[in-house]
Amino acid sequence: MKMYAMLLSLPLLLAACGNDETIDNDPATVPTEVLAPLTKTTARLALQVGTDKACYAPGQTVTFTASGDLPAGVRVRYRHGSDIVADEPLSSTTWTWTAPATDFTGYMVDLYTRDGSDAETLYATIGVDVSSDWARFPRYGFVATYDDTKTPVVIAGELAWLNRCHINGLQFYDWQYKHHWPLGGDDGGLFDVYKDIANRNVYTRVVKDYITQCHGLGMKAMFYNLCYGVLKDAAADGVSSKWHLFKDNNHANMDKLSLASSWKSDIWLVNPADRDWQAYLAGRNDEVYKALDFDGFHIDQVGDRGDVYDYYGGKVNLGNGFASFIKAMKTRHPGKRLVMNAVSNFGSKSIVGTGDVDFMYSELWGHEDRFSDLLTLLKNNRAYAGSPSMGQVYAAYMNYNHKGDRFNTSGVLLTDAVMFALGASHLELGDHMLCHEYFPNNQMKMTDQLRSALVSYYDFLTAYQNLLREGGTELVADLASGQAGVTVNAWPPKLGSVTTYAKTVGGKQVVSLLNFVRANSLSWRDMDGTQPEPETFVNVPLRLKAPGAKKVWVASPDSLGGAPQELTFRQQGDYVVFTLPSLKYWTMVVVE
pLDDT value at residue 10: 30
Q: Is 496 exposed, middle or buried (0-12, 13-18, 19+ CB in 10 A)?
A: exposed
Peptide bond into 89 cis (omega under 30): no
pLDDT value at residue 415: 98
Nearest CA to 523 among 361, 402, 373, 413?
Answer: 373
Q: 54 with 160: CB under 8 angstroms?
A: no
Residues in the chain with pLDDT < 50?
A: 1-25, 27
pLDDT, tens digit (0-9, with 9 covering 90-100), for 298-352: 999 999 999 999 999 999 999 999 999 999 999 999 999 999 999 999 999 999 9
Residue 440 phi/psi, 5-degree rounding, is: -65, -15
- Outline where DSSP puts E strands in 352-407: 360-363, 392-395
Residue 455 phi/psi, 5-degree rounding, is: -60, -45
The alpha carbon of 19 is separated from its chain's Cα centroid by a whole number of angstroms, namely 25
Residue 530 exposure: Cα atoms within 13 Å on the Cβ side? 8
Which secondary-structure segment (H or E) carries 201?
strand 201-203
C-alpha to C-alpha distance for 53 and 389, rounded to whole angstroms: 24
Q: What angle do CA 115, 562, 40 make, to 5 degrees?
A: 30
pLDDT, tens digit (0-9, with 9 covering 90-100), for 97-154: 999 999 999 999 999 999 988 899 999 999 999 999 999 999 999 999 999 999 999 9
Q: 131 with 105: CB under 8 angstroms?
A: yes
Nearest CA to 377 among 346, 350, 414?
Answer: 346
pLDDT value at residue 26: 52
C-alpha to C-alpha distance for 390 and 469, rounded to whole angstroms: 8
- Outline where DSSP puts E strands in 494-536: 498-505, 508-515
Nearest CA to 11 among 316, 344, 352, 362?
Answer: 344
pLDDT value at residue 32: 85
Q: 444 with 435: CB under 8 angstroms?
A: yes
CB within 8 Å of 304: residues ≥ 6 apart? 7, 8, 10, 318, 343, 344, 346
pLDDT value at residue 116: 86
C-alpha to C-alpha distance for 69 and 75, rounded to whole angstroms: 13
Q: 586 with 512: CB under 8 angstroms?
A: yes
pLDDT value at residue 592: 97
pLDDT value at residue 264: 97
C-alpha to C-alpha distance for 294 and 169, rounded to whole angstroms: 11
